[in-house]
Structure 1
Amino acid sequence: MKTQISRDFVKELRTKTGAGIMDCKKALQAADGNMEMAIETLRKKGLASADKKSTRSATEGIIDSYIHIGSRIGVLVELNCETDFVARRIEFQKLAKNLAMQVAACQNVSYVSIKHIPQYIIDREIRIESKKEDIVNKSSEIRDKIIKARIDKRLKEMCLMYQPFIKDQNIIIEDLIKQHIALLGENIKVRRFQRFLLGEKIEST
């Protein structure tokens, strides 16, 4: 016999995950009413669905902005989707705003993802890591492994997609976008962003 799930419980799960009503009901029934287990099930399902859509062309979308309190930091973000219909959805527009806020909060982030990092930046980071004193006396094999791990970590620190979401530290931005792909049924991509800091690059006279 299936566990009886209240309408309010289903609505709560839908609010938390963005999944469809029936998917939420089935997930709760399968988890015997355990909200956390149901959320995990829906997230896994959503991420798998999003991966299938990630290669589709996304040429519509919006440019959104965020001005931080005090008006000393401003951000512009271009977020792309497949159709103008989805671009007008409140969920899509809220995602764009959250991404702009994320960029404002992560001032060490300069790129969308690792593939956007210029090769000369990667080469510079490798040179820096290669000369660190704590690996000088290691064997070449161990040294290479340490350098690779450190470079991978450093490059991710520079990219928006790998940052913990400021409103939910349990997920990274990449997964947040995949959740919205699953919710809205279209591929979604961050094309670019620009951060503006008051007084930045102004030469004193």
Structure 2
Amino acid sequence: MSITIQQIITDAKRLASRLKERDVVADVLLNETHAINKKIDAMKQFQEEVEQLNEVANQKPHSQLIANIQKENRHLREIQQENRELRAALEDYQTTLEHIMSKYRQHTSEQIYRSKINFKAFQDKKYSEIIQTQAEKIQEMAAVMDKAALIDEDKILREQEIVSMLKVENQGLRQMLEISRKHGSLKTEDKTVQTESTS
């Protein structure tokens, strides 16, 4: 029972895919262990800080701790009052901005209404100018379309040249392959037959 090259290649591909999967699993496990190590370090640091705070609390008298807590409470009340003032200022700013935007919309709508074209006055003008400008635009568009058509034709010709060159090269390679098959050894012929049968 002979093993073909195709079977060896498929086995190698299968092994490579398994290695990739195991590599991915290993990366996931490494990331999880890093995350767990970080959590453990954070817990250790928290424990050390709690122990330090307990040591400091045991060294200070209770009256001083109560004074510090009251001071922090006053500071928190001041921050809360500042937050309320900032919220009120933000609401005032939003109402002012909405008022300004409504005035802006009203002004722009009035300007648009004033700048509308009066079609009755426009009909009294000479139609020849309009026709001339339209004809110029049509000529420009026709020129652009001609240029685009020329570019497409050049592209198609280049692609056809490449295809014909590839065909000639392919025929030459086939002839060289046929010559090598005719004048080659029996082993190489057997291998080529096996690869052709497997493919």
Fold-level similarity (TM above 0.5) = no
Greater RCO (CA < 8 Å, at least 6 residues apart): 2
Q: TM-score, normalised by structure 2?
A: 0.15
Larger fraction in helix: 2
The structure whose residues are more often strand, as a share, is 1
TM-score normalized with structure 1 length? 0.15
Which of these two proteins has the greater Rg computed from alpha carbons? Answer: 2
